[in-house]
Structure 1
Amino acid sequence: MTTLAGTARRTLLSVASPVVVLALWELLTRTKAIDTRFWPAPTTIASNLWDAFVHGTLRHDVGVTTVRLLIGIAIGATAGIVVGLGMGLSRTFRTLVRPLMAMTYPIPKIAVLPLFLLVFGLGETTMWAIVSVGVFYLVAMNSFAGIREIDPIYGETATVYRVSHWRRIWTVALPGALPLMLTGIELGIGVGFLLVVSAEFVNGSTGLGHAIWQAWQTFDVPLMYAALAVIAIYGLIVQVVMRTLHKRLVPWRIEHD
C-alpha cells in the first residue's frame, strides 16, 4: 500500500507541475500581464493546434518529420551500437577510431548541413543523414561507456568456461552495455529532433520545422506555438517509451524515483 501511495503521489506531482505552469500562463494572459501577441494563451494555442491538425497541414507535417526522424535514428543508432561495441571489445579498433571520434564529435552537427546538401542534394537523404550523424555519436559513446562499466569478473568467467567470442558479445557485452546504450538512444532522439527541425527550416517544404518557419514568416504566433507544442508532446512520449523499455529490458538498473 505504501508503494502504491508513493507511486500515485509521484504521478500526481508529475501531472500537477505542467498543469500549474499552464494555468499560471493562462491567468497572466487573461489579466493582460503579458503581451498576447508574443505569448498567446494556452487555450488559444490548443485551439490553433486542433484546427491545424484537423483542417490544416500540421498532421501531414507531423507524419513527415516522424518518418525522417525514425529513419535517421535507425541508421545512426545501428552504426553507433556497432562502433561503440567495437571500441569496447577491441583495443585495436579503439586505437584506430578513438582519435577520429575525438576530432569530429565537437563539430556542431548542424554545421555539416551545407556539406550534406552539396553531397546529397535537396532531398530526404539529407534529412536522414543529418539526424543519423547526431544520433551516432551519442549512441556510440554511451555504448562504449557501457562496455567499459561491465565488471571484469563476467569476462573472466566467460573465459574460464571457454565461451565463444560471439556468444560472449550476446551474453555479456550487450546486456552489460544496454542501460547506457538506451540512454544514448534517448539522448540521440532529442538531438535528432533538434537537427531535423533545424534542417527543415532551410531544406524542406514540409515538416514541423517548415511549419514553424512559415508561421514565423506570416507572424502566426499561435500556430508557431502549436508546432512547438507537438514537439513537446513528442518529448513526453519519448520519455514514457524509453522508461518502459528500461523497465522491460534492464529492470535491475531501474532506480527508485
Structure 2
Amino acid sequence: MKGPKNPIEMEKQEWRKQQGQKRFKTWLTVCSPIFLLLVWQFLSQSGLIDARFFPPPTAIISTFIDLITSGELFYHINISLFRIFAGFLLGVIPGVILGLCMGLYAPIRHFLSPLIMALMPIPTLALLPIILIIFGIGEVSKVVTIAGSVFFPVVINTVAGVISIESIYLDVAKNYEAGKKDFFLKIALPGALPFMLEGIQMGQAIALLTIVAAEMMGAKSGIGYLIWTSYGAFLLKEMFVGLILISFFGYIFSLLLRGLQRKLLPWR
C-alpha cells in the first residue's frame, strides 16, 4: 500500500504539467500561421488557386525583401505608425478623461450621453469629407480621423467601468472627505481600468482599420496607400505585403496591450 504523496513532489508535478500545457499552447500558436502559409504555398504552386491573384508566400517574401532593400517600405511604415500613434493618443486621452467625468458626475453623463450615442454609429470614414474640408488633406486630417474612431469605444467603456464600481468605495471616499483628485486617481481610474483597457484594445483594432481606409482615400503615403496603389497597378505581391504588415502590427499591438493589462491587472 502506497503512502501519501510528498506535497513538494506533487507541487513539482503540477508545475511541470502547467509548463507542458503552456508549451503546447505556444506551439499551437506558432504552428497555425505556418500551416496556413504552407497550404497557401501548395495551392498556389499546384495551380489549384490562380497564382496571379494569390501569389505564393515565397514570392511575397521576395517582394518584401526588395521593398525593404529599396527603403520604400520603411518610408510607408514610419508614416503609418506615426499617424496611428498620434491618432490613438489623441483619441484615448480625451476619451479616458471624459469617460471618468461622465461616470462620476451624473449631470455630465446625462448631458453628453445623447450626443455620444447619436455620433457613435456614424462611421468616422463617412465623416472624412467633412474632416478634409476642416483640416485639409495633410497629416492632421489622418490623425483626427483615427482619433475619432478610437474615442468612442474608449469613452463608453470608461463610463461603464466607473458606473460598475461598487458604491461602498465611493461612500468610504466621501466619508474620508476625499478630494476630486483622489476620486479620479484612487477610486475612478483603478475601478474603471479593466473596462477602460478593453475599450483601448478595441480602439487599437479600429485605428488600424481606419488608417488603411483613410490612406486609401486621401493620402500619398502609408501602408494603406501602398495597398491601394498596388491593387490599382495589379502589383498584387506588393498589395499582399501591405495586408500582411497590417495584420502583423495588429497582432503585435494586441500582444503589447494584453501584456500591459497583465501588469496593471494581475488578478485578472
Specify the TM-score bucket, using the shorter chain as the normaliser: over 0.9
Whether 1:69 and 2:71 are equivalent positions in the alignment is no
Q: Indicate the residue corresponding to 1:209 in structure 2.
A: 224
Structure 1 runs not aligned, ≥5 long: none
TM-score by structure 1 length? 0.95
**Cα distance between partner residues in 2 of 1:162 and 1:246:** 31
**Cα distance between partner residues in 2 of 1:88 and 1:247:** 24
Q: Aligned AA for 1:182?
A: L
SS in 1 for 2:216: helix
Coordinate RMSD, CA, aligned: 1.1
Residue 108 of structure 1 and its aligned partner are, at CA, apart by 1.2
Aligned partner (choices 21, 38, 41) of residue 26 of structure 1: 41
TM-score by structure 2 length? 0.91
Q: Indicate the residue corresponding to 1:129 in structure 2.
A: 144
Whether 1:248 and 2:263 are equivalent positions in the alignment is yes
Structure 1 residues 84-93 or 154-163, which shifts more? Answer: 154-163
Once the two structures are superposed, what CA deviation does each residue of 1:125-157 show, in whole Å capped at 9, x if it has no partner? Answer: 100110000000011011111112222222122
Superposition pairs of residues 47-66 of structure 1, within 5 angstroms: 47-66=62-81
Contact 2:92 2:154 in 1 (8 A): yes
Q: Indicate the residue corresponding to 1:196 in structure 2.
A: 211
Superposition pairs of residues 156-171 of structure 1, within 5 angstroms: 156-171=171-186
Q: Indicate the residue corresponding to 2:100 in structure 1.
A: 85
Residue 161 of structure 1 and its aligned partner are, at CA, apart by 2.7
Structure 1 residues 175-184 or 86-95, which shifts more? Answer: 175-184
Residue 56 of structure 1 and its aligned partner are, at CA, apart by 4.4
**Cα distance between partner residues in 2 of 1:188 and 1:240:** 14
Once the two structures are superposed, what CA deviation does each residue of 1:89-112 show, in whole Å capped at 9, x if it has no partner? Answer: 000100110000111111111000
SS in 2 for 1:33: coil
| Equivalent residues, number | 253
**Percent identity at matched positions?**
34
Residue 180 of structure 1 and its aligned partner are, at CA, apart by 1.5
Q: Aligned AA for 2:110?
A: T
Contact 2:215 2:223 in 1 (8 A): yes
Contact 1:201 1:213 in 2 (8 A): yes
Greater Cα radius of gyration, structure 1 or 2: 2
Aligned partner (choices 108, 122, 127) of residue 107 of structure 1: 122
**Cα distance between partner residues in 1 of 2:165 and 2:69:** 50
**Cα distance between partner residues in 2 of 1:197 and 1:165:** 40
